[in-house]
Amino acid sequence: MPEGRSERLASVALLAATAVWGATFVTVKDSLAASDSFTFLSLRFGVGALAAVVLTRGRGFSRALLRPGLLLGVLLFGGYTLQTVGLETTTPARSAFITGLTVIFVPLVSWRLNGQRPPVRAFVAPLVALIGLQRLTGVSLADPVPLGDALTVGCAVIYAGHISAMGKWGRGVPALPLTAVQLAVVAVLSAASLPFVARRFEPTAAYWGAVLFTGVVASALAIGTQVWAQAKISAVRAAVIYSLEPVFALLFALVMGLGVPTSAELVGGCFILGAVLISEVDFKARHSSSSTA
């Protein structure tokens, strides 16, 4: 497949995965009313790891997967732990906005990890996306930072590390086997944390539905898509696509009859779409090609 077409396909695939993740904020928030964070994470990622193994049919696993799988799994565990625990004391909107700070951290982390300075537009696009995220959610950074929000800031930093590391270590590695290893690491670390936290488990039918949806669709399939797609595009471009997550969260709420977007939310969505355009289009290269035509 030509490189340009492959990159476009990877971007579309990441967009689909981001849409799925956008639908999970409210789902996870509701699930935390029925159990503690680590019980939910253990079940979610245990189901996800099993689903990923089933999808691979047991093929593609090798010792070469262990090191990147373990390291990426630890980062994933850290990010999801801080985000999920943070959701216990913050709103889904605030969580989505703060998690969106990931797009600011990725260029710096990626630069440090790979030693290659991204183009200027890689820094401009995240800033535009950040403005859009603020307008979208209405969150003011001048407010005192509650514990849940502070934990989510830590989540954004760790996610930036995971996205950047995925772009480096995920290349040339089979996507679903690497996903299975990562998810298994998260499930094991979550289960190992249970003796050290206050446990609460009162499952309902909706809770088990959330475990299956987040485990199979939002973890095995969406993270598997992430592994495959990030082998084809830059970590910075991927991060800007991920910033569309709260846009999809709003669309999901609209379809489910949970609310109509305000004018501020629509303006914020336009900013984020503009950020994606800046990230996706090399305007300098296009101008040069049009000048020589």
pLDDT at residue 292 tops 50:
no
- Averaged over 22-37, what is the pLDDT? 88
User: How confident is residue 289, by pLDDT bands cut at 50, 70 and 90?
Assistant: very low
Residues in the chain, overall count: 293
Q: What is the pLDDT of residue 172?
A: 78
The closest of 252, 282, 226 to 76, measured between CA atoms, is 226
Q: What is the pLDDT of residue 25?
A: 81
The model's pTM is 0.81
Query: What average pLDDT does the chain have?
Result: 84
pLDDT at residue 251 tops 60:
yes
pLDDT at residue 264 tops 60:
yes
- Averaged over 89-105, what is the pLDDT? 79
Q: What is the pLDDT of residue 243?
A: 79
**DSSP structure class, residue 105:** H
Q: What is the pLDDT of residue 280?
A: 61
Number of alpha carbons in the 13 Å side-chain half-sphere of residue 273: 8
pLDDT at residue 120 tops 90:
no
> Tokens 């710096």 belong to which residue?
108
* Paired tokens of 94: 């605030």
pLDDT at residue 17 tops 90:
yes
Q: Is the dihedral of CA 53, 55, 57, 60 positive or negative?
A: negative
Q: What is the pLDDT of residue 223?
A: 92
Q: Are 100 and 246 in contact (CB under 8 A)?
A: yes
